[in-house]
Structure 1
């Protein structure tokens, strides 16, 4: 039987562990806090995330070496900006899984690393020394709560090794969760990282009381930004027109379950960064940290991303949301 270690017990890590178990994969979840691991193992629920969702029988531990023992799939389910630190701590056990089990490393994190401007798959290969063909990424319209309750959803698993992508696909295919494969790792990662930033912009618009026309315009122009950056980095435009691009973008920009949209909504309604963080119950809104690194990555490749610029100015440089909207509307008119 395929054995997976899910490293991270947040909302998405918990939901994806349920998907794997429902698909017939043997699962062990690593949780940073011993009390979370105990509840997962004995009560089959996560007391801090998706607490009302009953999980199938999964093993759980706060010992990463125990979680990784014998694993041939390693799911990395920690926030993007803390991924490197965790990988460095886990590196000896990860190397054993790679060397002894030819394990696949599957990233659920969506972001661009601050400082290095690396995509998550690049961080993984740099820290672990894994062959790029052993590293896959998962992206799509995957709101954790909906998936945890069995609502139908689709996703994309991208890996340069197509056979490995197919094996990962088979490990998580259920009656409610439909995975597709792709070899365009860059496209999937850029779509996943940038949509969080555009979702902040849509949340801000909603919080300001703007309507569906405004939100639809932001989604569409945001997609144009994402495609420009993705193509500059070598992504296939068709990837960004699919589940990992448009699909993920629409779900994250429109759903009240989206942390990034919810964070932006508070800012748009006049709330502070602190109030927005409190409203998302301390969970990470990846776009807040990634908007600066996405902006820097775009600048390094001479790609224009005005919405991303505006979100970064609001989140980190004190620009008011009304000034940001005024600046965007005041840009010169031009062909689409």
Structure 2
């Protein structure tokens, strides 16, 4: 069966946006990657590299990049947001202004793993608020255990695309899937978005554990009990329990909480070494989604009266200067309970 070629605008030329754009382009789709940094765009167009984010990993040579949002959106059939959570509203509002120039029905989705602080909105909620003609049920979301640094090297990777509109989900599945990148579908957009965001906070804890030279026992405990926390809050907020056992939940948690390819994990390593989060963010020079998400998760768990002791202590380390050794002591001295 011949694949249908799609015209796709990928908005966000960071590591994940670039890796997805290159994969989509390598599959034969016509892809334009939009970014705000002219140097990065020139690097992509002339050298087929994005050295700022992906070092010397070669991109598909048919991938085009631009700093002109209107050019990126022109004739697009699919628009994929891959900008940081804090930039979603600004970029979506600009897209909304350009929508009249789009002469066909466009499928919108994102691959952003975060929650907005204070409003506690999911990414899909933010997008439809800024683009009122869209319905949340028609949006799609790509997530799963998928470091950009591995995807760009064509390592075998499995992800899930979530949407209540399964026709759209299957179209994205077809556009993305190939011999090394396998895409599954699910219908739980809400649960998938919460899973993807919540695991970033736990990944910071994973880095702390590694930085303290704790053993595999401790890492396994983090993943297991962290998953229980994710599921409790995600289900309370409307997600399906089974989503948290799949690629969007457990799969993404394992790869993020145990790998130095994760910015959140690296942030945890640095915290364990005694550096503060302000220094870490400045030195890394890239968005660490779990830092702001920790604040949003703390707000959500308190509001919904959901117990999330690991995430709560990550928040305290980041925002209340709690000492790591004190956080560990608090977790290990909690009242003994049955496993949930």
Normalised-by-shorter TM-score class? over 0.9
Aligned-partner Cα distance in 2 for 1:220–1:86: 36
Give the structure-2-normalised TM-score.
0.95
The offset of 1:255, in angstroms, is: 0.8
Q: 1:300 aligns with which of 287, 300, 303?
A: 303
Q: For residues 96 and 331 of structure 1, do their structure 2 counterparts lie closer, same or farther at Cα, with a shift above 3 Å needed?
A: farther
Q: 1:145 aligns with which of 121, 137, 149?
A: 149
Aligned-partner Cα distance in 2 for 1:298–1:52: 41
Alignment of 1:171-250 (within 5 A): 171-250=175-254
1:264 matched to which residue of 2?
268
The offset of 1:298, in angstroms, is: 1.8
2:112 matched to which residue of 1?
109
2:35 matched to which residue of 1?
31
- Cα deviation digits, residues 227-258 of structure 1 (max 9, x gap): 00111112111111000000000000011111
Q: Is the 8 A contact 2:158 2:181 kept in 1?
A: yes
2:76 matched to which residue of 1?
71
Q: Does the residue aligned with 2:214 lie in a helix, a strand or coil?
A: coil
- Cα deviation digits, residues 82-122 of structure 1 (max 9, x gap): 2112222332124644xx32111121111110111000011
Q: Does the residue aligned with 1:181 lie in a helix, a strand or coil?
A: strand
What stretches of structure 1 of length at least 5 have no aligned partner? none
Q: Does the residue aligned with 1:122 lie in a helix, a strand or coil?
A: helix
Aligned-partner Cα distance in 1 for 2:287–2:49: 21
Q: Does the residue aligned with 1:138 lie in a helix, a strand or coil?
A: strand
The offset of 1:219, in angstroms, is: 1.0
Aligned-partner Cα distance in 2 for 1:186–1:214: 30
Q: 2:169 aligns with which of 157, 165, 168?
A: 165
Query: In the alignment, does 2:61 pair up with 1:51?
Result: no
Aligned-partner Cα distance in 2 for 1:248–1:95: 37
Aligned-partner Cα distance in 2 for 1:16–1:315: 31
Q: Is the 8 A contact 2:204 2:290 kept in 1?
A: yes
Aligned-partner Cα distance in 1 for 2:101–2:81: 16
Aligned-partner Cα distance in 2 for 1:315–1:288: 7
Query: In the alignment, does 2:305 pair up with 1:332?
Result: no
Q: 1:90 aligns with which of 68, 84, 95?
A: 95
- Cα deviation digits, residues 269-314 of structure 1 (max 9, x gap): 22222343255x2111110111010111122222111111101100
Aligned-partner Cα distance in 2 for 1:180–1:299: 33
Q: Does the residue aligned with 1:334 lie in a helix, a strand or coil?
A: coil
Greater displacement, 100-109 / 159-168: 100-109
Q: 1:287 aligns with which of 285, 290, 298?
A: 290
Aligned-partner Cα distance in 1 for 2:118–2:326: 28
Q: Is the 8 A contact 2:118 2:299 kept in 1?
A: no
1:155 matched to which residue of 2?
159
1:119 matched to which residue of 2?
122
Q: Which runs of 4+ in 1 moved over 4 A?
A: none
RMSD between aligned residues:
1.2
